[in-house]
């Protein structure tokens, strides 16, 4: 049998793609535009399922290394480490794909097109899916998103290692319960200044090969069929050449929720015609009828298919395996010792120390440590959502037990349930503390799990997934307050992927550690921090308000009042905040042209990392501007007494304002440049400031 032209790797890629599409009937073309694309046996085309997830490790496909949830990785402020994590994930994805093909498994979650990363702006802490993002700052999100995408897609000149998908494009951050009918109304200034910069970086810097549209409308247009977003901005302005995938079953929302079309045929035609190339779902099967009605042309579908098959060809799916660099990756790479070590490093760097009155780090030879709380023994609090599973996952209690001296007693009491109105139980604590050596410290492991926050329908009871309650869930707060009767220092370890009301804990606990959803090595990483084997340096990628009363309405997509860039009220913890076991001092801030340098000294007794952050404030502007915005950051390691000079090259566009039409412009004037371990109004940051006159 003669080899089809599309399988001839010596021919130009465009010719191979065109040759394949030209042989398809209309029905066959349409069949390839849904996520579960069937085989076309007469053309020798195998089936392919486009649906795969790897937010913080290969998900839903059996064994994998589980890294900290995305919000935790963002807390590291470490682009190089995030890139290494993504590279490890893509190694495992390729290895699992190779093994699945040998087993004849071409099903969901074993392909090479991954719907990751989620780079939506976490503009409101009530959104349950905020845990999937890199936080509330467009600049931080852009830098981490670019690093992650490059790690997934690789840097081969011909082949893509995986296809990364930046989602959810665009202006999407809740509420979950109304996403299928919600219209996000945004000004052109907010659109360009806050909601789009990180997507633009993904396209133009990282060369992301795929984007996923959001469920909602933006200014009246459904995202998956928006000519403004998909054609004018994405392709015409940014030069995007990859493909767009709809969010799952989002096309039916056009007629069922948004009311912009009459039926499924019109909805499918609107999406495909305006630049959505593949439907997660099956409504695009209606495109054959849409062609008959004259709502979309077959030539337009050929354009969509060209984008889709270009991706499959660039993944090497139709080339001899020997030509594809990653075809020999073996199963041994999956959850390998090196990847488990990397997961622990990522978890260590993601942990944020919120308070410490000196109780931390703990001695390993204390007489007795009382560990309490449901999250101490629960592996679910390690995972977050969109997760994989590792063969061994270390709970918080296991991590603590593994650290202490042989002569130290560790007791555990649940005390309360994760959620619900079940009564708390302090009786068991009295029993535990009445025998043996006195308790030296109480480690309370409380907070959230992904059973309580996440995507619509994914949480307990199938709820919206959003966070209507700001405090600790269930009766955890009552239990935490009851612990004070023991008159022992309380170290609170809190899990979760979004801000939590810790006002009482800040006033009454001796120390507070935010662990996020720390992944399979979370228990060991938290113990490393608690006992001083790792000096914490994580920084919050989100603002912790004092209460939801400080926030605008959840449905209000005007950026005023949202995030550190536009929130005037004083929060409990600021974006960029985090403590260390050592002290860093900043001096010698210098500005030469657009290059900023600063001296950073470890003035303490312990070695540690510092996250150096540069913020810009436009002192006087003719249009509304952010209070300040992050414009540079670097994570460095310093030994006691060591000093390093950190340099930030800035670009003129980082000083831009945006007019009412969303157009950037440079306005001459004075700008405040601050560099420190956090924002300049954070007393712990040690920030130094200077003025820069822009002409």
Q: Which residues are catalytic?
A: 247, 453
245: nearest Cα among 290, 296, 188, 307: 307
Whether the Cβ atoms of residue 77 and residue 137 lie closer than 8 Å to each other: no
193: nearest Cα among 148, 137, 231, 143: 137
Neighbouring C-beta atoms of residue 45, cutoff 10 Å: 23
Neighbouring C-beta atoms of residue 246, cutoff 10 Å: 30
Whether the Cβ atoms of residue 538 and residue 505 lie closer than 8 Å to each other: no
Ramachandran angles phi, psi of 292, nearest 5°: -65, -35
Is residue 97 exposed (0-12), middle (13-18) or buried (19+ Cβ within 10 Å)? buried
d(CA 190, CA 231): 20
> For the chain, give me the number of helices (H) and strands (E)?
20, 23
Which DSSP state fits 223?
Answer: G
**In three state form, how does the secondary structure of 230-241 look?**
HHHHHHHHCCCC
- CA 546 remoteness from chain centre: 23
Whether the Cβ atoms of residue 601 and residue 585 lie closer than 8 Å to each other: yes
Q: Give the three-state DSSP class for 337.
A: helix
SS3 content of the chain, % helix, strand, coil (to 5): 35, 20, 50
As beta bridge partners, residue 491 has 443, 511
In angstroms, what is the C-alpha Rg of the chain?
26
d(CA 397, CA 415): 14
d(CA 688, CA 598): 9
The DSSP bridge pattern shows strands 210-213 and 243-245 to be parallel
DSSP assignment of 251-268 equals TTHHHHTS-SSSSHHHHH
């Amino acid at each position: 049998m003669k080899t089809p032209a599309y399988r001839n790797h010596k021919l130009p890629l465009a010719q191979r793609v065109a040759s394949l599409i030209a042989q398809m009937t209309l029905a066959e073309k349409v069949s390839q535009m849904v996520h579960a694309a069937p085989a076309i046996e007469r053309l020798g085309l195998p089936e392919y399922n486009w649906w795969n997830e790897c937010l913080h490790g290969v998900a839903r496909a059996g064994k994998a290394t589980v890294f900290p949830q995305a919000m935790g990785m963002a807390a590291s402020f470490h682009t190089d480490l995030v890139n290494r994590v993504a590279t490890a994930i893509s190694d495992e994805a390729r290895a699992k794909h190779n093994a699945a093909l040998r087993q004849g498994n071409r099903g969901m979650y074993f392909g090479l097109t991954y719907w990751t990363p989620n780079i939506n702006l976490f503009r409101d802490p009530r959104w349950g899916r905020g845990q999937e993002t890199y936080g509330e700052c467009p600049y931080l999100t852009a830098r981490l998103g670019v690093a992650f995408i490059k790690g997934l897609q690789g840097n081969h000149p011909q082949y893509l290692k995986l296809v990364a998908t930046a989602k959810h494009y665009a202006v999407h951050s809740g509420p979950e319960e109304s996403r299928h009918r919600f219209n996000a109304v945004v000004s052109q200034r907010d659109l360009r200044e806050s909601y789009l910069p990180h997507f633009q970086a993904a396209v133009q810097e990282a060369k992301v090969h795929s984007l996923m549209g959001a469920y909602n409308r933006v200014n009246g247009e459904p995202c998956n069929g928006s000519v403004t977003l998909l054609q004018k901005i994405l392709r015409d302005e940014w030069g995007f050449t990859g493909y767009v995938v709809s969010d799952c079953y989002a096309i039916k929302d056009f007629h069922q929720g948004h009311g912009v079309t009459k039926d499924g045929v019109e909805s499918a035609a609107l999406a495909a015609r305006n630049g959505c190339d593949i439907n997660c779902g099956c409504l695009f099967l209606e495109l054959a009828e849409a062609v008959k009605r004259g709502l979309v042309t077959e030539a337009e579908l050929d354009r969509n298919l060209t984008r889709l098959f270009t991706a499959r060809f660039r993944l090497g799916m139709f080339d001899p395996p020997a030509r594809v660099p990653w075809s020999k990756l073996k199963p041994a790479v999956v959850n390998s010792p090196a990847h488990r070590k990397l997961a622990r490093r990522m978890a260590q760097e993601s942990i944020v120390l919120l308070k410490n009155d000196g109780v931390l780090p703990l001695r390993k030879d204390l007489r007795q440590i009382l560990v309490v709380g449901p999250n101490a023994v629960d592996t679910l609090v390690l995972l977050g959502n969109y997760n994989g599973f590792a063969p061994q996952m270390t709970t918080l209690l296991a991590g603590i037990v593994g650290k202490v001296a042989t002569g130290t007693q560790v007791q555990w009491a649940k005390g309360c349930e994760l959620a619900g109105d079940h009564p708390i139980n302090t009786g068991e604590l009295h029993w535990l503390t009445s025998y043996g050596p006195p308790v030296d410290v109480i480690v309370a492991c409380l907070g959230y799990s992904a059973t309580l926050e996440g995507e619509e329908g994914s949480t307990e009871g199938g709820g919206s997934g959003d966070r209507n309650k700001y405090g600790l869930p269930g009766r955890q707060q009552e239990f935490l307050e009851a612990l004070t009767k023991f008159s022992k220092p309380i170290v609170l370890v809190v899990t979760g992927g979004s801000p939590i009301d810790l006002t009482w804990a800040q006033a009454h606990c001796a120390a507070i550690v935010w662990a996020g959803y720390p992944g399979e090595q979370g228990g060991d990483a938290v113990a490393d921090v608690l006992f001083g084997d790792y000096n914490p340096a994580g920084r919050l990628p989100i603002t912790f308000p004092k209460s939801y009363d400080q926030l605008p309405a959840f449905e209000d997509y005007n950026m005023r009042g949202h995030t550190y860039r536009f929130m005037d009220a004083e929060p409990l913890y600021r974006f960029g905040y985090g403590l260390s076991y050592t002290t860093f001092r900043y001096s010698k801030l210098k500005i030469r042209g657009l290059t900023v340098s600063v001296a950073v000294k470890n003035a303490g007794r312990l070695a540690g990392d510092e996250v150096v952050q540069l913020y810009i404030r436009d002192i006087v502007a003719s249009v509304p501007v952010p209070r300040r915005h992050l414009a540079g950051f670097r994570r460095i390691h310093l030994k006691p007494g060591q000093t390093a000079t950190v340099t930030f090259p800035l670009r003129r566009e980082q000083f831009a304002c945006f007019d009412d039409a969303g157009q950037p412009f440079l306005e001459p004037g004075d700008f405040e440049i601050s560099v420190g371990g956090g924002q300049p109004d954070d007393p712990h940051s040690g920030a130094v400031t200077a003025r820069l006159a822009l002409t």
